[in-house]
Structure 1
Amino acid sequence: MSRFSKARRDARRKDEPARPIRRLGDPLRLQARLAEPGGETIAAAALRDGEWLLLLDGRTAARTDSAAMVLAMLRHIARRHAAGEAGLQLRCSPQLRAAAAGEAAAHARTLPEHLDALEAERRDRNAPVS
């Protein structure tokens, strides 16, 4: 091995194009989007490999098997973000709504009732202990 082989190897690597990161599993499929009136996305929900993902700032913030839970998290974000503003829009795919409605029906509730129950559970879980 020559004394210049490392320099040549480093130069070759520098000249080669960067290889993209290859993700394993199914591609990410957006199912819901929470957006401001100007079109800027605040949060989103996606489905990958049968798992629902909550996306904030382009990164996965939470994972769940429950479509209703991811919808409840998006509604919570909308309420927190819109405390002083108006006009946030939550658009959901029919697949997300159907999956969440199926979970609600399994608990003998309508979808709005089920989402309200999930929000109440979140409040109870995060309530300060006295």
Structure 2
Amino acid sequence: MSIQSKAKRDANRKKAARERTVTATPRSSIEAHAELRDSAGALLGGIARQDGEWVLGLDGKMVGGSDSAATILAMLKRAAAMHERAGGSIVLKFSDALRDAADAEARAKGLSLEEFEAQLERGMRNDAPTTPAQPSPSAH
């Protein structure tokens, strides 16, 4: 066996090994910060922090995200209140980090967190349609 053919085989083995090596892509870190559960313990919704954004999930689906901790927390509290009004018993838990970020954001606007939530609620009510949408007439 020649020295050149051994060198070629070794080079081919190294090349094949490099091609088999899977390069790990860094995953974004997801930190859970809040959960909304019913009385049976089923998860109804939650808040996570992913790549610097607060993300809201409800009924197993990601429904929105925001840089605003106060807004996302208010949205989850609103969902909790809706479940309670519908007769459900719920448990809402959230992290100190989420609460502190929401408080700081509200204070930066000169409001308490409760005032911020009330202001957001009023804004959402003002944006809601006052009458149901009328179906458009269909052309026959």
Which bin holds the TM-score, normalised by the shorter protein?
A: 0.7 to 0.9
What is the distance in 2 between the residues matched to 1:101 and 1:48?
20
**Shift of residue 35, structure 1, vs aligned partner:** 0.8
Q: What's the counterpart of residue 73 of structure 2?
A: 71
Give the alignment's TM-score, normalised by structure 1: 0.75
Q: What's the counterpart of residue 30 of structure 2?
A: 28
Relative to structure 1, is the Cα distance of residues 37 and 50 closer, same or farther in structure 2, using a 3 angstrom cutoff? Answer: same
Relative to structure 1, is the Cα distance of residues 61 and 23 closer, same or farther in structure 2, using a 3 angstrom cutoff? Answer: farther
Please point out which of 82, 85, 89 is paired with 1:83.
85
Q: Give the secondary-structure state (helix, strand or coil) at the position aligned to 2:46.
A: strand
- Contact in 1 for aligned 2:44/2:60 (Cα 8 Å): no
Aligned length: 108
Q: What's the counterpart of residue 104 of structure 1?
A: 106
**Counterpart mapping for 1:35-46 below 5 A:** 35-46=37-48
Between 1:117-126 and 1:80-89, the stretch displaced more is 80-89
What is the distance in 2 between the residues matched to 1:57 and 1:24?
28
What is the distance in 2 between the residues matched to 1:107 and 1:70?
16
When the two chains are superposed, the root-mean-square deviation of aligned CA atoms in Å is 1.9
Give the alignment's TM-score, normalised by structure 2: 0.70
| Amino acid corresponding to residue 95 of structure 1 in structure 2 | A
Between 1:75-84 and 1:46-55, the stretch displaced more is 75-84
Q: What's the counterpart of residue 126 of structure 1?
A: 128
Point out where structure 2 has 5 or more consecutive residues left out of the alignment: 1-23, 132-140
Q: What's the counterpart of residue 62 of structure 1?
A: 64
Point out where structure 1 has 5 or more consecutive residues left out of the alignment: 1-21
Q: Give the secondary-structure state (helix, strand or coil) at the position aligned to 2:85.
A: coil
